[in-house]
Amino acid sequence: MSNKTIKMTFDRKSMDDKTLLDLYRSLLLPRKIEEKMLILLRQGKISKWFSGWGQEAISIAAVKALEEDEFILPMHRNLGVFTGRDIPLERLFAQFQGKKSGFTKGRDRSFHFGSIPHHIVGMISHLGPQLAVANGIALAHKLKKNPKATLVFTGDGATSEGDFHEALNVAAVWQLPVIFVVEHNGYGLSTPSEEQFIFKQFIDKGPGYGMEAIKVDGNDILETYQCLSKLAKDIRKKPRPILVEAMTYRMRGHEEASGTKYVPTTYFEEGSSKDPVENFEAFLISEGVLNPKSQSKIINEISIKIEKGLESAFAEMKSEAYSEEEIGDLYKPFAFNPSAADHNQTSEKRFVDAISDGLRQSMQKFPELVLMGQDIGTYGGVFKITNGFIDEFGKERVRNTPLCESAIIGTALGLSINGHKAMVEMQFADFVSCGFNQIVNNLAKIHYRWGQHADVVIRMPTGAGVGAGPFHSQSNEAWFFHTPGLKIVYPSSPFEAKGLLATALEDPNPYLFFEHKALYRAISEQVPDNYYTLEIGKANWVREGKDVSIITYGMGVHWAKAAMEEMDVNGDLLDLRTLLPWDKEAVRKTVEKTGKVIILHEDCLTGGIGGEIAAWIGEHCFESLDAPVMREASLDTPIPFSSNLEENFLPKNRFKEKLQRLLEY
Catalytic machinery residues: 472
Distance between CA 602 and CA 486 in Å, rounded?
Answer: 21
Distance between CA 647 and CA 400 in Å, rounded?
Answer: 35
Query: To 10 degrees, the CA torsion angle through 504, 506, 510, 514?
Result: 20
Distance between CA 467 and CA 349 in Å, rounded?
Answer: 25
Distance between CA 575 and CA 172 in Å, rounded?
Answer: 45
- Please say whether the beta carbons of 407 and 135 come within 8 A: yes
Residues 6+ apart with CB under 8 A from 215: 201, 202, 203, 244, 245, 246, 247
CA 444 to chain CA centroid, nearest Å? 7
The edge-to-edge listing of strands for the beta sheet with 421-425 is 398-400, 369-373, 421-425, 456-462, 511-516, 487-489, 578-580
Q: Output the CA torsion sign for 121, 122, 125, 127.
A: positive
Residues 6+ apart with CB under 8 A from 176: 135, 138, 139, 142, 150, 170, 239, 240, 241
One DSSP character per residue, 568-580 reads: T---EEEE--EEE
Q: Pick the closest to residue 248 from 223, 284, 282 (CA basis).
A: 223
**Exposed e or buried b for every residue in 162-179, given b needs 16+ CB within 10 A?**
ebbbbbbbbbbebbbbbb
- Please say whether the beta carbons of 167 and 160 come within 8 A: no
C-alpha R_g of the chain: 28
Residue ranges in 396-442 assigned as alpha helix (H) = 405-417, 436-437
- Please say whether the beta carbons of 12 and 286 come within 8 A: no
Cis peptide bond upstream of 461, omega within 30: no
Q: Pick the closest to residue 240 from 180, 168, 164, 172 (CA basis).
A: 172
Q: How many H-runs (helices) and E-runs (strands) does the chain carry?
A: 24, 21
Distance between CA 241 and CA 210 in Å, rounded?
Answer: 9
Strand 456-462 to 421-425 pairing? parallel
Q: Residue 489: in which H helix or E strand, if any?
A: strand 487-489
404 φ/ψ angles, rounded to the nearest 5 degrees: -155, 85
Strand 540-543 to 572-575 pairing? antiparallel
CA 542 to chain CA centroid, nearest Å? 36
CB atoms within 10 A of CB 393: 18
Query: To 10 degrees, the CA torsion angle through 144, 513, 614, 484?
Result: -20
Q: Output DSSP code: residue 120.
A: B
**Letter for the amino acid at 361?**
Q
Instruction: Report the Cα–Cα distance between both ends of the chain, in Å, rounded.
Output: 90
Q: Output the CA torsion sign for 411, 387, 363, 580.
A: negative
**Letter for the amino acid at 119?**
H
Distance between CA 614 and CA 549 in Å, rounded?
Answer: 12
